[in-house]
Chain A
Amino acid sequence: MDRFLVEADRKPVGIAIRVRGGFRFVASDPEFRSIDSKIFPRARALASSVAELARAQRARLANDALH
């Protein structure tokens, strides 16, 4: 099995599939659609992109809560 669960803030947001050329991210959470199907040569880069999107989502939610 070359598929790995990808989590953000302890919630599953998609899977990483090992493919030729690196790791493809397949989003299960629509918030991560912008990187859906993207191939990352480095597994760490995939995880960093997911973490970055999760941070942006948190900031947006916090901002919405203030207004």
Chain B
Amino acid sequence: MTSISPYVAESLARVWAALHADLRPRLSAADTAYLQRVLLDTDDDLVAHLLAEKLAQASRAPADAPVVDAVHIGSRVRFAIDGQEAVAVLVHGRAEAPGFIGAASRYGAALVGLLPGQAILWPHHDHRLVEVRVLVVSPYDRTDKAATPLQARLTCASG
């Protein structure tokens, strides 16, 4: 896969920001810090710039106030990527275990901070933009077996 130039990524991010001007993701202090680390760690320049845009327009919850309505690390999410639905628990790292999606993975980073019903365009590993839509967010119940494997279709933030 040929990577796109960082300057092209920067320009695309400005277009993306204009398209998602009303997104206003909701982030906890912990999720903000985590996404900043993902941004600095990803090999994908476009993902890095889009995460920077997402962080720039996010509303921040106080450190002692958990974010419960938006996707956060520890929540169970029903979502759709390019129309394909899946359910997973958002966890730290680039998880590949069935039913879990890492917040440092390509689509995990896209989901963090989104509210049910919100959708964003996000680069697939081939740089094609696909729609990532959050359908339902709920607390993770450890006895819940309903999460469905999706990792075969997902790739980590480094591609």
Interface residues of A (CB under 8 A from B): 1-2, 4-7, 16, 18, 20-22, 41-44, 46-47
Contacts and interface: CB of A to CB of B under 8 A. Distances in A.
Which secondary structure dominates where chain B touches chain A?
Answer: helix
Interface of B: 6-7, 10, 33, 36-37, 39-43, 45, 48-49, 52, 55-56
27 contacts: A1-B56, A2-B55, A2-B56, A4-B36, A4-B39, A6-B40, A7-B37, A18-B49, A18-B52, A20-B10, A21-B7, A21-B10, A22-B6, A22-B10, A41-B6, A41-B45, A42-B48, A43-B39, A43-B40, A43-B48, A43-B52, A44-B40, A44-B41, A44-B42, A44-B43, A44-B48, A47-B41
Contacts of A47: 40-41
A46 B48 CA distance: 12
A21 B20 CA distance: 22
A6 B36 CA distance: 8
A43 B42 contact: yes
B148 to A, nearest CB: 32
Nearest to A44: B43
Contacts of A43: 39-40, 42, 45, 48, 52
Contacts of A18: 49, 52, 56
Nearest to B5: A41
A4 B55 contact: yes
B52 A2 contact: yes
A41 B4 CA distance: 12
A47 B36 CA distance: 11
A5 B36 contact: yes
A46 B51 CA distance: 16
A65 B127 CA distance: 48
B4 to A, nearest CB: 11
A46 B37 CA distance: 12
B159 to A, nearest CB: 12
Nearest to A43: B48
Nearest to B13: A18
